[in-house]
């Protein structure tokens, strides 16, 4: 099992946890054996195999989260009047609660109760700062569509309440927390669709629609905690954490009403810091760091993005591959791009489909085209040879696409070669990280385009 590359070949057939041994110094020159137990059951491993990355941010550093928490496991099926299930029945009726209980199946350790979150996302979810609302499950049970919702904060207010849409929120509070899509680098906003997928609905079923629905409703309720209490900021506050509690509304903010299924409740929108439109706005360009570790290739980056056209060798329909991520980046930055892949006729993005070409030699205007590579080194060398024969002037080799031979060939045969150390990424020059800065350096204007 490879945690770094998220590649999976799982032979485990039991729930026995891994034992990982490490040594650390104790005192002068002495070592003591320390053993950690990483409690990953077969269900945990299958969840990692199914999701592969954070379902919200698409980041690769993940934790396995329980939709219905382990802390409430002892109350499953309890008929005690003060149990969570009895309380739920009082508000949502026996039939709905029975469906939730049936989906749980008497235990928290089911794959349908598990979902992968990045650590920060997991913590924000535990604090009820956001929720995922299940929308539809495909007939083949391979695709579950959800919507992401931030919950706003409450601050003191003496202004009258007016109505306004909620879906423009980019975060619970602009100064508290934001999430970014790791593939597109766009801010995740309220109302954005989060798609959960599985390639094997029998062995690796998606999270339960019913459990996600229960979790969504309870997150909405949890987000209201303390909303009716006095604000302690005027009387002294013993708690330094402003994130945990909900606050009342400040005078420069307005209250909004929105519907969450069977719950209708008041939320808050800062009218001065957010657009007033009820639609989700196009995300603004991401502002990158200006303190670059190495700008020695900045002239080449400028020349690369000065081309009229762009192409991607190794473009792929696999959402987890660099070839797909590069195509989404070029698309979202409104750049004319052609994917190169001799094995497929087209590559589909959610909003459009791109026809592929089989080789750099078949590009329409190769002399006016800059080429990005997302191929393994042996393939990269052949691609570069074809590109050189076609007259392509500039190439960008993503990290991991080249070895010494590939790099030497590129630097000897192209006017512009971007590869290796430089830019802002620790792994070297990367279009996904350095691309927007390069567009600015080239004086190229662009408008954010929906994926």
8 Å CB contact between 223 and 260: no
Q: How many whole angstroms separate alpha carbon 290 and alpha carbon 313?
A: 29
> What is the pLDDT at residue 153?
62
By the 10 Å C-beta count (0-12 exposed, 13-18 middle, 19+ buried), 435 is classed as buried
Overall size of the chain counted in residues: 451
Number of domains in the chain: 1
> DSSP readout, 239-301?
---TTTS-----TTEEEEEEEETTEEEEEEEETTTS---SSPPPPPPPPPPS--SB-TTHHHH
pLDDT in tens, 139-191: 999 999 999 988 866 554 434 443 444 444 455 444 457 888 888 888 888 88
Q: How far apart are CA 218 and CA 212, in angstroms?
A: 10
Rounded Cα distance, 103 and 84, in Å: 16
Q: What is the pLDDT of residue 71?
A: 66
219 located within any domain? no
Most confident of 47-56, 242-251, 379-388: 379-388
Q: What percent of the chain has pLDDT over 90?
A: 31
With respect to residue 141, please indicate whether it lies within any of the assigned structural domains: no
Indicate whether 325 belongs to any domain.
yes
Domain region containing 414: 298-441
Q: Evaluate whether residue 53 is within a structural domain.
A: no
371: domain CATH number is 3.40.50.720
Q: In this structure, is residue 356 part of a structural domain? A: yes
What is d(CA 376, CA 389) in angstroms, rounded to the nearest whole number?
Answer: 20
In a domain, 288, yes or no: no
Lowest mean pLDDT segment, chosen from 114-123, 237-246, 269-278, 387-396:
269-278
Over residues 376-384, mean pLDDT: 93
Q: Kindly state whether residue 355 falls inside one of the protein's structural domains.
A: yes
- Whether 404 maps to a domain, the answer reads yes
Quick one: which H or E segment has residue 348? Answer: strand 346-348
């Amino acid at each position: 099992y490879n945690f770094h590359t998220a590649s999976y070949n799982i032979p485990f057939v039991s729930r026995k946890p891994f034992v990982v041994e490490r040594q650390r110094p104790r005192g002068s020159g002495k070592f003591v054996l320390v053993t950690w137990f990483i409690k990953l059951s077969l269900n945990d491993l299958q969840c990692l195999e199914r999701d592969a990355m954070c379902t919200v941010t698409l980041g690769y550093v993940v934790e396995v989260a329980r939709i219905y928490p382990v802390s409430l496991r002892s109350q499953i099926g309890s008929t005690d009047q003060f149990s969570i299930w009895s309380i739920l029945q009082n508000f949502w009726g026996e039939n709905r609660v029975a469906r939730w209980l049936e989906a749980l199946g008497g235990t928290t350790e089911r794959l349908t109760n598990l979902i992968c979150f990045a650590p920060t996302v997991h913590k924000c979810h535990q604090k009820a700062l956001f929720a995922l609302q299940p929308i539809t499950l495909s007939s083949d049970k391979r695709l579950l569509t959800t919507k992401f919702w931030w919950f706003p904060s409450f601050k003191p207010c003496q202004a009258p309440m007016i109505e306004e849409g909620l879906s423009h929120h980019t975060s619970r509070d602009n100064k508290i927390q934001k999430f970014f899509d790791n593939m597109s680098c766009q801010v995740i906003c309220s109302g954005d669709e989060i798609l959960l997928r599985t390639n094997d609905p029998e062995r690796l079923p998606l999270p339960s629609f019913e459990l996600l629905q229960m979790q969504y409703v309870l997150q909405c309720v949890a987000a209201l905690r303390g909303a009716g209490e006095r604000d302690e900021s005027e009387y002294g506050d013993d708690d330094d954490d402003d994130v945990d509690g909900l606050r009342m509304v400040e005078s420069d903010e307005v209250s909004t009403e929105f519907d969450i299924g069977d719950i209708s409740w008041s939320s808050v929108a800062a009218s001065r810091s957010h657009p007033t439109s009820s639609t989700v706005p196009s995300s603004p360009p991401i502002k990158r760091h200006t303190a670059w570790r190495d700008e020695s290739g900045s002239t080449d980056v400028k020349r690369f993005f000065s081309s009229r056209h762009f192409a991607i060798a190794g473009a792929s329909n696999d959402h987890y591959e660099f070839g797909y991520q590069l195509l989404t980046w070029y698309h979202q930055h409104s750049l004319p791009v052609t994917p190169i892949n001799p094995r497929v006729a087209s590559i589909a993005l959610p909003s459009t489909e791109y026809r592929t070409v089989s080789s750099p030699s078949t590009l329409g205007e190769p002399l006016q085209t800059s080429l990005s590579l997302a191929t393994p080194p042996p393939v990269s060398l052949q691609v570069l040879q074809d590109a050189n024969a076609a007259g392509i002037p500039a190439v960008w080799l993503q990290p991991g696409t080249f070895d010494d031979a590939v790099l030497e060939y590129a630097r000897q045969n192209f006017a512009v070669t971007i590869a290796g150390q430089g830019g802002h990424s620790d792994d070297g020059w990367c279009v996904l990280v350095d691309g927007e800065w390069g567009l600015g350096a080239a004086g190229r204007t662009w408008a954010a385009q929906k994926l």
